[in-house]
Amino acid sequence: MSKIATEFGITEALKALGIEEINNGTSTGADWFSNGEIIESYSPVDGQLIGKVKATTREDYEKVITTASAGFKEWRTMPAPQRGEIVRKFNDELRRLKEPLGKLVSYEMGKSYQEGLGEVQEMIDICDFAVGLSRQLHGLTMHSERPGHRMYEQYHPLGVVGIISAFNFPVAVWSWNTALAWVCGDACVWKGSEKTPLTAVACQNIAARVFEENNVPAGISCLITGDYTVGEFMTKDERVPLISATGSTRMGKIVAKEVAGRLGKTLLELGGNNAIIVTPDANIKNTVIGAVFGAVGTCGQRCTSTRRLIVHEDVYDKVKTAMVDAYKQLRIGNPLDQNNHVGPLIDKDAVKNYQQALEKVVAEGGNILVEGGVLEGEGYESGCYVKPAIAEAKNEFEIVQHETFAPVLYLLKYSGSVENAIEVQNGVRQGLSSAIMTNNLREAELFLSTQGSDCGIANVNIGTSGAEIGGAFGGEKETGGGRESGSDAWKVYMRRQTNTINYTTELPLAQGIKFDL
């Protein structure tokens, strides 16, 4: 282990999470097995090898899906509140292991340790939500038009749920899906990101141990590991009725087409191009706090990261100066050191995309306000540390229309009414998160109205990033339209059934139709 790993207790964290030097990357909960190529996990923090896993082969996958399908048939018969009790026990283990799991998230992905702990806290919160939900999987009762009949709707478990998650939230998004799917009675097969395989192994270790101790059938929590070809095992498999996929819009379009071709269901959480509108009535101090964290948190690698700051001309210079001054105060370095604000990008490919975005905005006529660049020297040996940058630009620039998964913020000026700013905000293909900074009630309400933001998330006087699990999370347009986490998102993991019961001695037909024999 490296100096940083030793100093910040990564070795102890791996041990607490049951991760060995080489840990197979396929599991049905009952045992670990893999016969594919070795995948090495390097930390973007210091460039050091953390551990290795083996990829899932086609034969491995068949064992997983067979076990999951068999386990589902037993799991679905357990009353939902009892399934909720199993999730509660899983949650107890997350609370006990919050610190080591948070450290591993930080070290393997590169986000700050506080964000790593926050991600595990999201897992804890969604489990709390799911436990309560296990007693509220309600349907509807309605009046029949036929006398002596009763009608109602109910929800049944869907089956095996396939989950494809991204590197930037290597554990939280999985838990959003599994906690709800488990209490709904589904089995889950998870393909974590090949860029963060060890956090997935850690989560599967926790779930498998809890399930085994409580005599839960094997296969309710399964893990498969590998690149997109492993994900294709699930997207093409008719035995998996729902695919929940988080990642790029490009990936989502491929998944949607494949699953739709077999008439399966998808839950898609894809790209974001999120903006904050700043009106003349905004609190500038709060605006800067929200915009800076939204733009540089997780080194700009959140789907809800702030990409565009749309500022009214009357306060443009004031906001610009405040943002430039704030960026001068950012500390970039080892994310396990809580004195630092910004950690590394995930890998060298991400660095290349960051550099290309800055070159592109200049080529299109933009003006760099805060210079970017790759950091070198002591503490930056991984080559993944970059400077958060700000560029003055226009919304119609091609690079601004795309999501750059890096800390690049585009400063855009608008004039006139807030309607003009909303038009700019909506003028991209993505529709995940949005925000407005204003103390003007009319502007705030207009932003939240049918004439306002076209995003799945619209905030007033807070930034675009950060979401509470009580609300449904997701977006519109090229963000995919899916909803995860709270509210009634649980319904996607179940199949709806309408029931009619005739308790008379006659058989009247609907709509008054007569059919006498």
Q: Cα dist. 177→270, 420, 444 in Å?
A: 15, 37, 32
**What is the length of the chain?**
517
Q: What is the CA radius of gyration of the chain?
A: 25
Q: What is the DSSP secondary-structure string of 57-112?
A: PHHHHHHHHHHHHHHHHHHTTS-HHHHHHHHHHHHHHHHHTHHHHHHHHHHHH---
Which residues sit opposite 223 in a β-bridge? 27, 190
What is the DSSP pairing of strand 140-143 with strand 149-157? antiparallel
CA-based nearest residue to 407, from 453, 375, 363: 375
Tell me how far apart the alpha carbons of residues 370 and 110 are, in angstroms, rounded to a whole number: 23
Contact 499, 152 (CB under 8 A): yes
Tell me how far apart the alpha carbons of residues 193 and 448 are, in angstroms, rounded to a whole number: 35
Which residue is catalytic, options 122, 269, 403, 443?
Answer: 269
**Burial group, residue 254, by CB count within 10 angstroms (0-12, 13-18, 19+):** middle
CA-based nearest residue to 126, from 174, 69, 167, 164: 174
Q: Cα dist. 184→8, 39, 108, 212 in Å?
A: 39, 33, 31, 19
> Tokens 């960026």, residue?
327
Task: Give Cβ neighbours of residue 250 (< 8 Å, ≥ 6 apart).
Answer: none
CA-based nearest residue to 242, from 271, 264, 272, 212: 264
Tell me how far apart the alpha carbons of residues 389 and 370 are, in angstroms, rounded to a whole number: 5
> Tokens 């309605």, residue?
142
Query: Could you count the other beta carbons within 10 Å of the beta carbon of residue 340?
Result: 16
DSSP alpha helix (H) spans, 185-247: 197-213, 228-235
Check if 269 is active-site: yes
Left (φ > 0), alpha (ψ -120 to 50) or beta: where does 417 sit? beta
* Secondary structure percentages of the chain, helix, strand, coil, to 5: 40, 20, 40
Which amino acid is residue 365, in one-letter code? G
Instruction: Tell me which DSSP letter residue 22 carries.
Output: B
DSSP alpha helix (H) spans, 134-187: 172-184
User: Residue 390, SS3?
Assistant: strand
Residues serving a catalytic function are 269
